[in-house]
Structure 1
């Protein structure tokens, strides 16, 4: 596929390469001219330094002759050493044009140093006429050096005059060349950009017209664009496939709409049948009110155990009839659990051994309604009912730092790891409880939604040993202010 991005990238790289080549050439030429300028300026500066240092030697010699101290002598020697180093720098400027003049210049510097040494020796030997004569010679040579410096600089200016002119001419030509190249590159980029834009905008306009036709509901027109095998061509093909798919979906939607209409009529008939069925059922409030009357009657007749049992059944029924969406305090759940166990004790007598350990400081915690009783009921169904000798159920509530730990343990047959995973993943349909019709899956799902986390419910089980259900109730809700749990199904 010829990518548009690849074409544009090639164009940009070509333009950048040309501009980079031009920039490098200009930079190299400018740097070369700058280096030549620096060399010439360095010549002038070093020659001026020779003049300045010769004058410093004259001044230092005068100071020594007037006051021949060690410090004045030391300063004089430093000046002579410095002018010797500068002379070595001047020697590097030698060429065919200035060879003779530069040789005389170096001889003058040597004479200046030699005469200065003679004057120092004469002053040390107290030869007044000799060191004064030498001093006069040093002053004269210093003047010659100054004049010779001007002569050399003038010679250099004449030598490089043509060079300066050629540099100026070349700079002008280079500037004009840069301007023409800039104009040429600009024109080339504009032409290529126009060509690229036409190659892109023409098929895009065709796609736009096709989209407009689709918006009007004309899904029978085939989409074709005038483009090479690039992204726009691929987009047009995909757009045409989308048109075909939409056309097919519309046909399917019309068929499904007709089926949905027929199904809705069937649902209305079914709801009407269910309503009539519900109207024929016993009012549950009438049922637990009747249980209250029977419990009082049994108590008056001296059947206290039967009265307590009826009270427990009525209380449990009343609690179950409350809205499942509301939360309840752990205290309420424990009380309902006790009523349920009283009922089961009447059923299983000595076969059921129930042990309860509750930390009273945890009873104010809020949990979803009907959480504990379905779990204990599940333990009764699978751990107590099948065994002839019954079994034991242990119920514990503990304060465990950041959460309240609730354990419901039995000594039943246990479960396999696969069964435990199915329950925790809420992807199985296990048997529901006898009393409430609520199964473990329902409890797991409501706890996860109520606390907005999946680590509240856990199961530890081994075959032949028993099962332990562990609830870790957070002391701080992750979704504050939400006291509702999902509707039971």
Structure 2
């Protein structure tokens, strides 16, 4: 079997990235062109608006300059001649600023040249009048001529505004139309290359699927025991060449091992198969029993809890309600998350505390809980819902109708086991009733139970998990309360199993 020239082939990843980069490059170029056109339109619009504002200010300054000069001629106050000269400078600056922009339009350029000539003549007339000093026949004629000239200038300024506004509107419309045409061209280009890229992608996908199908067909023949199937041939994809090489190598190795195994005794093979089948059946039976015991949950508890939350929301502030909701959510999450696992003892205790908080809220001062948790229990794993059913039994059978009820939970780690003690000061249970509780059918729903689990269920689950009997002991007398001891066995000082094992 020869090795393929893998290094000389292009990978599928390279081909896909090439198509992706091509599409992105086209999109980027299109975006840059569109962005550039938008900037051009914006700048053109801003320039036109600025020029229109300058033209409007020009007309205002022409009137202002003539008014200032008239007032100076009447009363000879220096303030007015200064105002006139300021306006004159402003007009000169405006004409200089708008000169290049306005001359882009032929008609507007004509008005601007006329306005510039009239402004020069206005400066000449005002200079001659100021040289004369007082009013005489000569200066009076000049003043009338200046006023007439000012009217012409104002009229030309208005015509210049109108002319340039028409030009700027037409120019802006032309640019906008060109931008729309470019955008349409960009859209067509993107659409075209999108179809082309899609076509390449389809061709690449079909080619890849064809080669996968061939490889799968060879694998299927191998699975059927046809060890003489032909080697997968070389192709143009680097990844498929690697897979083909690995497949061919695997096929040869399997064929070699099959030939080696054929020398073994047929009787031994049959015995091993039967043994494996029996072990698997036993394992499946134990797992099915365990899952059947572990997946029971009665929705009655949900409705009780919601009723408690509703009453609390009516009569208390929202804080208690939030705590109840959090406790309920914790229990629900715990039930939904650990159907198929062992859980840490710490998590079981945390969920039990949430359940205890709900019951304390439900019964107010009628029932209290006390937790005494020892150290070094963080590595202990137990079946989920081990402690809560026992506490439920204590409430239902011992404390539900009793004032000042109390449940104490003690957990200590000792040599060889962890001891869990659940003690209540309830009315106790007779031996006959206790026997019935242990013998209750685990599949029957029990009124008042949130989990649908009883002591018998807990006992069976512990025995199935640890493979040890007599892990629960109950000491109860009528009128004297109940003590339940649970022993979690340790193997060489460590837990039998961890949560990760499941």
Same fold (TM over 0.5): no
Which one has a bigger Cα radius of gyration? Answer: 1
Name the TM-score class by shorter chain: 0.3 to 0.5
Q: TM-score, normalised by structure 2?
A: 0.41
Q: TM-score, normalised by structure 1?
A: 0.42
**RCO (CA 8 Å, sep 6+): is it higher in 1 or 2?**
2
